[in-house]
Amino acid sequence: MGTAEAILASKIVAVVRLDDYSRAVDVARALHAGGVVTLEFTLTGRGAIEAVSETRAALGDSVRVGIGTALTAADTRSAIDAGAQFVVTPALRREVIAVSLQHGVPVACGAFTPTELLDAHEAGSTFVKLFPASLGGPKYIKDVLAPLPFLKIIPTGGVSVENARDFLAAGAVAVGVGGNLVPAASVASGAFGEITRNARAYVEALG
User: What are the residue numbers of the active site?
Assistant: 40, 129
Distances (CA, A) of 183 to 44, 107, 194, 202: 16, 25, 9, 14
Task: Extract the runs of DSSP E, i.e. beta strands, from 52-182.
Answer: 64-68, 87-88, 107-111, 127-130, 153-155, 175-177
155 prior amide bond cis, ω within 30: no
Please, are residues 105 and 84 in contact by the beta-carbon 8 Å criterion? yes
* Relative orientation angle of helices 73-81 and 94-102, to the nearest 10 degrees: 30
